[in-house]
Amino acid sequence: MNALLVKDVRIVDADHQLAGDILIRDGIIWALGRKLLPPRGVPVLQGEGRTALPAFIDLHAHFRDPGFPEKEDLLSGARAAAHGGFTCVSLMPNTDPVCDSPEVARYLLAEAKRHGLIEVYPVGAITVGLMGEELSPMEALAPWVWAFSDDGKGVEDHELMLRACRKAAGLDRVIFPHCEFQGLSDRGLSEELMVARDLWLCRRTGCRLHLAHISTPGSLELVSLAKERRLPVTCEVTPHHLCLTREEGDYSVNPPLPDREAREALVKALKGGPIDAIATDHAPHTPRDKAAGAPGISGIELAFPLLYTRLVAPGVISLSELSRYLALQPARILGLRKGLIQVGYDGDLMLFSDEEFTASEDFFFSKSTNTPLLGTRLSGRVWATVHRGEVIYLDGAVKGRDFRDHREVI
């Protein structure tokens, strides 16, 4: 029997707060309560002094596999995810080859299964080779992907995007646009114009839309209007757009870091605004590519500590609210029975402590350490990550060859 008892923890999710034990059996949360008596032989994770949250679900990450193993690959990405408290990651198609064929999507799923750490959810390309010229074979891709995106750039051709939205609606798949028109001097406007166009296409076609990394107050306003009209639209914002500003120090990332005012608007939108999820846009790069100007942040491992330190610890949002954005809402968008610590939900947990640490280079399991947070003191260190009742990260080690298993066995 696959089972695990997590003992003596503070349990927090989007709906509840309690203290006690969590029993997971056959990958599912089986019981919650005080002093649960496990069946004989069940391993125990002694969680005293720690908080358990539903494990996080990242709707937006780049694991660079196939094609760029010097930046990241599926194994290093999965290890980084486990270290960050994530058990499910949606992978963007800008790999080499691009995920514009069922073969690439099937490769991602098979490799993730072979590694046995996390679940991956591939995103297929909207256009062949992300060239913005010809639709990918969306019908053939649909069984393997939950959404379609040309992330990295916007689809500029209106007719092509209209056809993509119609097709996605017919296939019951999500269009996941990176909103940015090229050639506008006002970067915020280039995002907002494409958000407006894609919301209108959503209205005309009935296609489900999930907007990637929105970053301006104008985009929030447009999404709010669309939600008032009950359009099937969701959106995400990244930890770095919520926590960092360009005034404090600019860093090459796309969309660019917000100014102070825009950041405040994004944070405010977490309190009853139109934001559905926080997604990392984990974008690992080698130092050489970064020096050459490649935009992006290696963010999946520091996402929670950053959000915890900057938003939860000072009381800007509650831990329950953060859990809603990192677990419950992404689970709903993907259609998973995850994201809450309740009987019948998948046994996916992360446990953390208030321990402070410095985000130094040797902190990372990712192959890349491109982040403006190097050297920063943060708290909310992830202590353990549990995927369907199996401990995949514990106290500095990811499940694998050198995994030191600290679990006590009754």
Q: Under the rule (CB under 5 A), what is the footprint of Zn ion?
A: 151, 178, 212
Q: How far apart are CA 43 and CA 371, in angstroms?
A: 37
Please say if 281 is a catalytic residue.
yes
Q: How far is the CB of 71 from Zn ion (least distance, A)?
A: 16
Beta strand segments in 55-100, E: 56-61, 86-91
Which of these is catalytic: 281, 289, 402, 405? 281
Supply the Cα-derived Rg of the chain in whole angstroms: 20
Whichever of 80 and 212 has its CB closer to Zn ion, that residue is: 212
Q: How far apart are CA 284 and CA 267, in angstroms?
A: 25
Whichever of 234 and 323 has its CB closer to Zn ion, that residue is: 234
Whichever of 10 and 153 has its CB closer to Zn ion, that residue is: 153
CB atoms within 10 A of CB 158: 11
Give the containing element (helix H, strand E) for 352: strand 349-353
CB atoms within 10 A of CB 316: 16
Q: How far apart are CA 359 and CA 201, in angstroms?
A: 42
Q: How far is the CB of 152 from Zn ion (least distance, A)?
A: 6
Residue 44 has phi, psi (to 5 degrees) of -120, 130
C-alpha 364 chain-centroid distance:
17
402 Cβ contact partners less than 8 Å away, ≥ 6 residues apart: none
Q: By CB neighbour count within 10 A (0-12 exposed, 13-18 middle, 19+ buried), where does 344 fall? A: exposed
Nearest to 56 by CA among 383, 348, 388: 348
- On whether the CB atoms of residues 65 and 77 are closer than 8 A, the answer is yes
Q: How far is the CB of 213 from Zn ion (least distance, A)?
A: 6
Pairing of strands 377-378, 408-409: unpaired
Q: How far is the CB of 160 from Zn ion (least distance, A)?
A: 18
Whichever of 177 and 389 has its CB closer to Zn ion, that residue is: 177
Q: How far is the CB of 296 from Zn ion (least distance, A)?
A: 9
Whichever of 178 and 324 has its CB closer to Zn ion, that residue is: 178
Whichever of 73 and 180 has its CB closer to Zn ion, that residue is: 180
Nearest to 277 by CA among 333, 351, 342, 335: 333
Cis peptide bond upstream of 284, omega within 30: no
In the bound state, the residue with its beta carbon closest to Zn ion is: 178
Nearest to 175 by CA among 233, 105, 106: 233
Whichever of 151 and 192 has its CB closer to Zn ion, that residue is: 151
Catalytic residue positions?
A: 281
